[in-house]
Structure 1
Amino acid sequence: MRVGVTLACTDCKRRNYTTIKNKKNDPSRIEMKKYCRFCRTHTVHKETR
């Protein structure tokens, strides 16, 4: 039920983080506000495929 996903920055489109999510609780793509070391600021990161 838990699956690994990759998070990409919405500004620079780079894949910075990997995390796990529960597909039953979060069937849609997740969004988190995290630090991007390339942009050097906190940005929204979206789940990629």
Structure 2
Amino acid sequence: MAKGKDIRIIVILECTGCDQKSVNKESSGISRYITQKNRHNTPSRLELIKFCPCCRKHMIHAEIKK
């Protein structure tokens, strides 16, 4: 059995561009990805460049709280 907390945790990445556009009502939705990260290697918030189907281009997706 594993000791203590799990090292790898599931995180949700949300598009930063859609978040800003939702105020202006230009976007049809918010793009989200689900991935895992190693808590020991990346203790800070995760940011990855992923494709956003709402913006129709590659944007920065940042980790959000569950």
Q: TM-score range by the shorter chain?
A: over 0.9
For the structure 1 residues 6 and 16, does the alpha-carbon distance in structure 2 shift closer, same or farther, using more than 3 Å as the test?
A: same
Larger radius of gyration: 2
Consecutive unaligned residues of structure 1, counting only runs of 5 or more, are none
Taking the aligned partners of 1:30 and 1:40, their CA distance within structure 2 comes to 22
Q: Does 1:33 align with 2:39?
A: no
TM-score of the pair, normalised by structure 1: 0.93
Aligned-residue sequence identity (percent) comes to 45
Q: 1 or 2, which has the higher helix percentage? A: 2
TM-score of the pair, normalised by structure 2: 0.70
Instruction: Please name the residue that 2:14 is paired with.
Output: 8
RMSD of the TM alignment (CA)? 0.9
* Deviation for aligned residue 1:16: 1.5
